Structures are given as structure tokens and as C-alpha cells.
Chains A and B, each alone.
Chain A
């Protein structure tokens, strides 16, 4: 896991550094789940998401927006995701558990995934992104 929260007065801004693009998406996903539900998250319930977008940043934003939707309407809290990216198409196999008020109430609602300042960069050390969650 390689993400950190960087100061932003109003919202939650996350910086992620990962070796591969798939790991970058998976770490951003983990950061989102931690902000929403805290660290205590187990597996057991599988859910698959497929997304296609116009560019890599939109693919990430659309993926995380879909995760927000699924998590809320199905009442699922995800522990991990295996992600495959083929061009601008993504498949995520997610593993989670039903929302439990006792264990999953330490976080805060995320209202949306913002495009503001969303940029994925790539150099010899791997991939990096900054992303803003509206809370």
C-alpha cells in the first residue's frame, strides 16, 4: 500500500505512488475505502466492475465513482481489488463484506471523485497520481 493523505483544507487529497498502473488504481481504490470505512475491512463477497473511458485519468475517476455507487447501493465494504487494465478498459475483481455499523463507521462519506488536479504521471520509478475526494 503506497498512498498518503496530503493537506487540503476542504476535502481529502490523496497521493499514490505505485510500480504499475494496475497497482496505482488498486492503491487509489484502497485509499477510497479507508476514507469511507476505516481500516477494518474483510473479504468474502465478490463483485466485478468493468469500465471503459476516454483517457487514463477518466478511467480511474469512472472506476472509483462506480465503486462509490456499488458500495452504497449494495451495502458492501471492500477489502481489496484485483485490477486488469487493457488500454482504456478496466476490469476489477473486488472482495468485500456487508457494511457493519459497529466496525465501519469510523470514516466519512465521499460525495464524489473530482477531476480537479487529477493527473497520472509515469517515470523510471513507476506511476504517481494526486486525486481529490469531495467529503
Chain B
């Protein structure tokens, strides 16, 4: 482990006060010893930097997929007091509400095994990669609808089923959205990109449930062995990117105005109660809503392809859940025995609310919230459930993915996209991408083993394993 970091449990580590000047609370992260060997000093430094922010409560937290990002580390979580705390785009990221959803189908593995035509059809239906525009014409009124109502806008416009909404975190929208705080430039970018996947680590993947760890929770989530599912990973596209860019500049000035000292300019922030902080929060919430609407549009397109290809009913493809990875939210948590509303930032982390949490829909209240952890192209994805331990230790949060271990430049030098695709095909996984670099960039070997990351969250108890899914067909952005 990196010098200066203290072990406090089997998979728990502490960054003590003083690791960087100005820390207000210690840092705490969850990692196995072997994952600790590949932890970057930059990620620890970034987590310690978060601990210097005004109003931070208890700890700056790192999930087991912690790695070096910008501002917060990826896998970073922090809660802030409403009165004394700050809001920072560096704790959310450029891709606001980048997130993931999973829906089930009545199909089984043999229905989709080797079906390149299905993967080709999905690839041509869902626009992907750099420069992609949506086939949907989003009017200014519709764009406002996406930003205000989120997934509900899409369902009301005919792109989904009412039951989808209860299976989205916060019903697929944040009520605090303020479209006036979203610049004309951001709206200009968001209009043409509705229903597009984007690039980088975004994907649409056909998967098969091949292991159930928790039959009770799996049943509640609608998952069974051998069942084909579809996972979608994307965010708020250019609209969210522009909102972050615009407000980062405003908050840089606000940082000076409110005399906040920062170790990293990307942590630019303002008090939650300040006009600048409120405007960023309103614009961020509008972007988060756009992202929920966007994932709803992509799910609708994929459902229609599957319904047509297999003559199955659209209604037989229910949404298991949709989670946000990059977002700040007002949430009620127990602090030293009393309930208090705090502002939780999750940057590359997933909400993992435990059983009994009042915001969960009635059919999920006894199991806890479904948590979706995507693997990489060739490795398993996992469904977990939120826990009481997460509520106690991490403000109801867990990891969001495997976490990279190899840079994109190394990946391009060492790996050849078509070799990766050929190797995956031998394992029965069909890959389509706009170019070979996109495959090399996201090859299985550039990520930590997803099994090891989810084992840590399971052992620590901040979420518990429910099911494992294997990839069969992948569309890379």
C-alpha cells in the first residue's frame, strides 16, 4: 500500500489528517490488498484533496474501483452539510448522470448466440461514436421536457412504459432542474444528440444471466438463470459536458469570491446556498434528467429491435433498474443518530440504498435498491443490492464498475482492436464498434477484474451480490 495510508480493516484503509495540508476529515477507502498494489498515488492524493473541501461530513470516501481522475478521484463519494458545505462540478464530472440501466427479455441464450444480424441491427439503430446525431428530431419544447421531466418525458412521448419510471433512481428525474441555468450553447449541443450513445466507455450490451447468488432478491428484480438481458451505459452527452464547462468557469470565480482555498482548480466550488451553487445544481439536475431521458430513448430503440427480430411483446421487456454514476443529490441520511439532509456527490460511484429506505418503490423496499456494476467487454457484469451497511458507512454508495488499470495510449500501443474482437468472438462474444481503436481502448485487459472489485464491496457489505451476467454481444460507442 502507498506510504502514509493506514490499514483499518480487512478491506478498509484510512488517509490520515495531514496527508495533504488543510484536510478537514480523514479519507477512507475500500480495497483488497491485491487491488491496493495497483492503486495510483494520484488517486489517493485526489481523495485527500476532497477531504479539504468546506462542510465535508465524516470522510472523503473511495469505492474499490477508485482510480486517478480529475477533481475527485473516480470512485469518489463525499457528503456535505447544506449550511456549511459546497457543491463542486469536480465531484460530478463532465458527463453528468453518466449511468447504466438493465432490462430483461423473455429470450434465452440460444436465441441470441451467434446472431451477428441482431448486433448489426442494434448497431445501425442506436447512433454511436464521434459525430453521431440522433434520428429523433428534438424540438426546443421536447428538449425542455427532457431536462425537466427526465425519463417521464420519454415515457409520455411514447418511448417506454409507465412501469419503467418506478425502476429508475428517483423515478428518472430530479425535481430541482432549472433550465434557465442551462446555457443556449448546452441546449444547442443537446438537441441533435437525443438517443445517441456517445463514445469512450459507453456501450449497449446483450448479456445472459449465468449465476444467481441471492434468489430472493433476483426474483424481486425479475432475474432468472439463462435469461437474456440488455445493459445500456451512457450519459448526458454534449448538453451535460457543456453545463460542466460553463459552470466550472463561474464556480472558479465563485471560489475566489467566497475565499475558498483549493488544492486543485478542478475542485472549483461554491457554497450550496450561494446563487452560483444553486445555479450549478439546477443546471446539473437538468442535465441528469436529459441523461435519464436519453437512456430511456436508447432502451426504447433496443426493445423495438428485439420485438421485431423475435416477435416478442415490447411489454415483456421490463426495466430492472437505472442508476446514475456521476451526480450530486440532496439525500436524507443518519448522522450521529439524527436524520439530516446532506448533499452527496458521487463521481464514478453508485447509489446503493438499503432495505427500508423510503424512496424505494414498494416492491424493492425489502431487498434494497438494485445496483448495476458493468464489467468490461469480455468480463462479467454484476447485479447487487443496496444494504444497511452502505447507509452506515458510505452514505448509501458503492462502486460503479471495474476501474481502469491501463491508459488509453498504452492500450492502443499494446492491443490491436481486430485481435481483441477475434479473441472475444472465440468466446462467443460479438463486438461492433465505430473503429478498431474503440475496441483496443476498452479491451478487457485495460480494466481491473470486475470479479475482484465486486467481491470487495460484497465482503465489506456496502452492497451484496445478487446475480452475474456474461456478455454475448457488444456495441461500443
Q: Is the pair A73, B189 in contact by a Cβ cutoff of 8 Å?
A: yes
CB contact between B189 and one of A12, A54, A69, A105 (< 8 Å): that residue = A69
Interface residues of B toward A: which range?
Answer: 35 or more
Query: Which residue of the partner chain B has the closest CB to A9?
Result: B404
Interface assignment of A91: CB less than 8 Å from any CB of chain B: no
Interface assignment of A44: CB less than 8 Å from any CB of chain B: no
Q: Is the pair A5, B435 in contact by a Cβ cutoff of 8 Å?
A: no
CB contact between B70 and one of A5, A75, A109, A132 (< 8 Å): that residue = A132
Q: Is the pair B131, A104 in contact by a Cβ cutoff of 8 Å?
A: yes
Interface assignment of A126: CB less than 8 Å from any CB of chain B: no
Contact with A along B15-36 (1 / 0, CB 8 A): 0000000000000000000000
A115-B441 Cα distance, complex, nearest whole Å: 24
CB distance from A131 to the nearest CB of B (A): 11
CB distance from B42 to the nearest CB of A (A): 9
Q: Is the pair B94, A105 in contact by a Cβ cutoff of 8 Å?
A: no
Interface assignment of A134: CB less than 8 Å from any CB of chain B: yes
From B70, B185, B188, residue with most partner A Cβ within 10 Å: B70
A99-B132 Cα distance, complex, nearest whole Å: 10
Q: Is the pair B244, A105 in contact by a Cβ cutoff of 8 Å?
A: no
- Helix, strand, loop or mixed for chain A's interface? mixed
Q: Is the pair A109, B67 in contact by a Cβ cutoff of 8 Å?
A: no
Return chain B residues, CB-CB under 8 Å to A73: 185, 188-189
Interface assignment of A22: CB less than 8 Å from any CB of chain B: no
Number of A residues near B (Cβ < 8 Å) is: 39
Q: Is the pair A115, B95 in contact by a Cβ cutoff of 8 Å?
A: no
Query: Which residue of the partner chain A has the closest CB to B40?
Result: A9
CB distance from A107 to the nearest CB of B (A): 6
Q: Is the pair B131, A105 in contact by a Cβ cutoff of 8 Å?
A: yes
Known: A115-B252, A116-B266, A134-B94. A11 touches B69 (CB 8 A): yes
List the interface of chain B (C-beta within 8 A of A): 40, 67-71, 74, 90, 93-95, 129-131, 185, 188-189, 198-200, 238, 241-242, 244-245, 248-249, 252-253, 264-266, 268, 404-410, 434-435, 437-438, 441, 477
Besides A7-B410, A9-B404, A65-B245, 13 more A-B contacts (Cβ < 8 Å) are A8-B68, A9-B405, A11-B70, A58-B252, A105-B129, A105-B131, A108-B438, A109-B477, A111-B94, A112-B245, A113-B245, A114-B266, A115-B264
Instruction: Give 17 pairs: A residue, B residue, CB < 8 Å, sorted on A.
Output: A8-B68, A10-B68, A36-B130, A75-B131, A104-B131, A107-B437, A108-B130, A109-B129, A111-B94, A112-B245, A113-B245, A114-B71, A115-B265, A116-B265, A118-B265, A134-B70, A134-B95
